[in-house]
Amino acid sequence: MTLFEKIAAGQIPARMVAQSDHWIAFHDINPQAPVHVLIVPRKVIPRLGAAVEEDAPLLGELLLAAGTLARQLGIDQTGFRVAINHGPHAGETVPHLHVHLIGGRQMEWPPG
* Dmax (CA) of the chain: 37
CA 19, 17, 63, 35: dihedral to nearest 10 degrees? -170
Cα torsion 63, 24, 22, 70: sign: negative
The torsion angles phi and psi of 62, rounded to 5 degrees, stand at -65, -40
Residue 98 bears catalytic tag: yes
Write down the catalytic residue from 36, 96, 98, 100: 98
Which residues participate in catalysis according to the annotation? 98
